[in-house]
Structure 1
Amino acid sequence: MRKKWDIRIGTALMSCLLLAACGTNEDANTEENNTNTTVEEENNTSANEEANTNANSGADEAEMVHIGASQIVEHPSLDAAYEGFKEGLADNGFVEGEQVTFDLQSAQGDPNNAATIANNFVADDVDLIFANSTPSAQGALQASEEIPIIFTSVTDAVGAGLIESMDQPGENITGVLDLHPESIEKTVSFIDEYFADSTVGLIYNSGEQNSVAQIEAVEAAVEGTTLEALTRSVSTSAEVQQAADSLIGEADVLFIITDNTVVSALETIVATANDYDIPLIVGEPDSLERGGFATFGIDYHSIGYRTGEMAAEVLSGEKTTADIPTEYPADMQLFINQEAADAQAIEWHADWDDQAELME
């Protein structure tokens, strides 16, 4: 009798253990299934969030304004104009990375490259072209009659065929010139007063309309003075040193206009001026900081800033380029670099202390 009860009790215990084991496995499977479901849901949520983020980023990118910026060569004056342009835009609601993107490209001194850059901007369907130099503006205008073009660092926009007149620039182009109407006349008068009976050496790129117009203005301005103009023409910045050396012993004063090719190699001219005690007159304050002696100049950052304001008016739809007259620089004054005066053995005149903004 006892053996039967032992068997029954053992059987019952085994059944309980099996039921408990099955319950544990079912709970584990249920928990695992719930965990897998949660992970899958989280993965799906993350994927959806990422897709939404990418979609929104794409939408933001599509809504951004895209500006192509073309610069004939890299040197401090043009660089300052570009920075001023971006600042003028930012102060008027077009901040880089938020409302606008920029594609800055340098033509490395080659007008053919400037034309290629402009054509690429047209192919990229940019919203506006910032042309920083005469060749850059010419290339942009040849590439498109529809995309708005805002230029600066241009001396003679009418002579370069960019605009019809200062008041009526054109259907898709306007900007700010980099030469005050009185700049060359004042510079020549300054040289005539303080360096009378001098031969003035001029180096320029005859392929730049910007430079040809200035040289012609200098030659006209020296008529009736005690001065004589002596020119040297270059086609690349590599030729500047040779041109400067050829003026040694012939030029009493050097006058470097705002020629992009020559200014990009200004240090070689500064070295010649310092070695042979030749006063070096330059066309803008940035060249003064690089070793020039004096200039009746403008601030390139300020003309760049003004073009940024113009661009903001166009991009916001307030105006078209045809509504905005081309402008001259607002201000001009005499700047003198005292350290360069010492390096070039220039006799100091007391009235310069009052007439000029002095740099050391």
Structure 2
Amino acid sequence: MSLKIEHAHLVLPYQVLQDAWLISREGKITAYGCGVSPQQTFSTVVDAKGQYLTPGFVDLHVHGGAGADFRDGEEAAFVRAMQAHLAGGTTTMLATVSSTTLEGTLESLRIYEAMRQREAQLPPLPRLAGVHLEGPYFSQKERGAQDETIIRLPDAAEYERILEQAPCLRRWSIACELPGALELGERLHKQGIMASVGHSDATTAQVYEAFGRGFHSVTHLYSGCSVLHRNGPHREGGVVEAAFLIDEMDVEVIADGVHLPPDFLRLIYKIKGPEHIALITDSIRAGAADVPEGTVVYDDKEGRRPICIKGGVAVMPDGKNFAGSIATTSRLVRTMVQRAGVELTAAVRMAALTPARMLGMDAEIGSIAVGKRADLLLLDSGLQVQGVIRDGKQVIDNRLN
């Protein structure tokens, strides 16, 4: 199987090649360049007609989409959500499971493992790189939209059972200040699983200690994160300040344009730079779909905990907390470029190369380079997805519509 794409604006990590071409064979990029493309026989030839050709985007934090959630306990739910996000530009993802019971967590992990065994028999989907557990070991104060009845303290017997049954686990978001959290962070680090500070009321000093114990990222910066603790007239930094002060700390950012205003996005970008920012959707079951304003969805398939879609984002009924986003990864890139004023090359790095590096997969995906997988996107001048290539095969072509 061979593919040639020609007449594209090729988005590399630090430059955009004009009138460029790219060739892939057997799912991997074999060559690219500018000007006249090689005149050989290819299985598929795509004329990009001046559109941007970027690497496929990598989402470390996505709960679902198109009416499905990864906690639903059904393969069909996984497939439906993943198809919706593929159309939005995600070619690799971590299926994220929010705080639930031990049994619910184990069931989601079981469905994931079963899907991995049948991947070749499924329709075109984003690459499932593993599972991200968001919770349940969180601060009640910073729980946000997480279910307060489910949140609990780290329990060694419980998490050891999860680790025994979850070779797919790649990332776990935890409030690092909780009793037993640092020991869990060390346990995860030794097993090659990313520990991330999430929904945490920690002080800067506590985050510094956690960084030394294996917590090398912060989950959705500013959301569910302590800022500026006050004790009488005295002040002490929180999670946000620690994330800024620790140069090597990676941060997730929900760049949907609602969770954080453009000024905050610019501030994070100025301090952390694209090498330490991973754009994430944090998309819920209403995500990656055309959801009318005012639609009410539910946190689980049993119809518990209503969530309202208002102003292009998911909001709790009391209006005090966001409840995740409805974004796609391409929307994140548009927000960073069109509203935060970031260069396209940097925005694409934050949506592809940085999260790929955090996953330890940057030798395989995350940028356009010879030898990497041909997971690619065609974006128009407004950065809307017009085509998706997965492993060198065009699986979505919106230009025909």
Could you tell me the TM-score, scaled by structure 1's length?
A: 0.29
Tell which structure's C-alpha radius of gyration is larger. 1
More helix by share: 1
Could you tell me the TM-score, scaled by structure 2's length?
A: 0.27
More strand by share: 2
